[in-house]
Structure 1
């Protein structure tokens, strides 16, 4: 049976024409979902760390070098997340344009 994607409900009464591929498809979907979730979590953590260090530097409690390293790491993570998001959106649009 086809499962829903995100907030999109599954199609009722549909079945896969390859029932043996169902477990591999579910495992791949779970792995992809876990990877995207981990990416988002790590990106947010790095952004929060950079923000915290920036505030500490303003109070005179953190070294400039540590702040620069944290901000650069956060910026790289954010740019990677944006690039991956763009690729996912492009792939979705390509799939949505396919003729059935």
Structure 2
């Protein structure tokens, strides 16, 4: 799952850079602020880091180096982040399918 999230993050980053280079090549001014792709990339990176933190907390908990409550908190946070990522993915897929069904 982590590899899939990282692949999506990389694709969003590449698409953002292509869009920015196309805008600058066309002479258009880049919009101020942050793009949707950058926001998604940051959120995916945060989710990946959360899962990695939960994995290391689980290992530390099994070795007796971390309190059970801390391990539980880390794992539950990672679970919430993954559930949010899956919900966002489902919404994006649904929106894409709705657009492909539109009459031209």
**Normalized against structure 2, the TM-score is what?**
0.68
Q: Given the alignment, which residue of 35, 39, 42 partners 1:38?
A: 42
User: Structure 2 unaligned runs (5+)?
Assistant: 1-14, 16-27
Provide the rounded CA distance (Å) in 1 between the counterparts of 2:40 and 2:86. 12
2:65 pairs, out of 61, 65, 89, with 61
Q: How many Å apart are 1:35 and its aligned residue?
A: 1.2
RMSD: 2.1
Q: Deviations over 1:14-37 (max 9, x none)?
A: xxxxxxxx75xx649x61101111
Question: Which residue does 2:97 correspond to in 1?
Answer: 93
Higher Rg = 1
Q: TM-score, normalised by structure 1?
A: 0.70
Aligned to 1:79: 83
Moved over 2 A (4+): none
Q: Give the helix-richer structure, 1 or 2.
A: 2
- In 2, the alpha carbon distance for the partners of 1:68 and 1:85 equals 26
- Number of residues of Structure 1 aligned to a counterpart in Structure 2: 78
Query: In the alignment, what sits opposite 1:13?
Result: none
Long gaps (5+) in structure 1: 1-5, 7-21
